[in-house]
Amino acid sequence: MKTAIALFALAAALHARGALATAPHAMLPRNLARAVAEFDRAQVQGDGAALARLLADDYVLFNSRGRVEDKAAFIRDYTAAGTTMKPFTVEDEVVRHWPGGAVLGGLVTLEGTSEGKPYTVRLRFADIWRERDGRWQVVFTGATRVPAP
């Protein structure tokens, strides 16, 4: 009987691990998962109003070129004329959540145009989220370029 219980526990753990690997945001509070999806969408659509709402006023980005940017620079980068971004998929996701905070990150290949010129860049990133007054906002992002596979 103990062996059967141990095997069941192992099977359940492996199933849960597989479920998390396919849906890592499933364990997040609904309002945080919604904010994460909105943040991704706002970047792709160049939606400055949504980015302004989802980025904390004291937001800081360590960008992939080793520069430090603030909220205004980030929004300017995503909303500038001649700037587009194709939808992207996050690979190797990292999701950590605790009451009032979270880290979400992974690996992405971004494609689009900047100042009308095409680009493709592969980045490993981490966004740090904080809940303030009942809303989730990104307070920090770190991004590092990685070679194409």
In order of start, what are the domains of the chain with their CATH numbers? 29-145 (3.10.450.50)
97-143 per-position pLDDT tens digit? 999 999 999 999 999 999 999 999 999 999 999 999 999 999 999 99
76-105 per-position pLDDT tens digit? 999 999 999 999 999 999 999 999 999 999
Q: What is the mean pLDDT of residues 13-37?
A: 68
- Which pLDDT score, from 0 to 100, does residue 24 have? 66
**Spatial distance between the Cα atoms of 5 and 3, rounded to a whole number of angstroms:** 5
**Spatial distance between the Cα atoms of 112 and 81, rounded to a whole number of angstroms:** 13
Band (149; pLDDT cuts 50, 70, 90)? confident
pLDDT at 41 over 80: yes
Report the DSSP pairing between strands 68-70 and 84-85: unpaired
pLDDT at 51 over 60: yes
Report the DSSP pairing between strands 135-145 and 55-62: parallel
- Which pLDDT score, from 0 to 100, does residue 10 have? 33
H-assigned helices in 2-126: 2-22, 30-45, 48-54, 71-79
Q: Is the pTM of this model over 0.85?
A: no
**Spatial distance between the Cα atoms of 54 and 136, rounded to a whole number of angstroms:** 7
- Which pLDDT score, from 0 to 100, does residue 23 have? 62
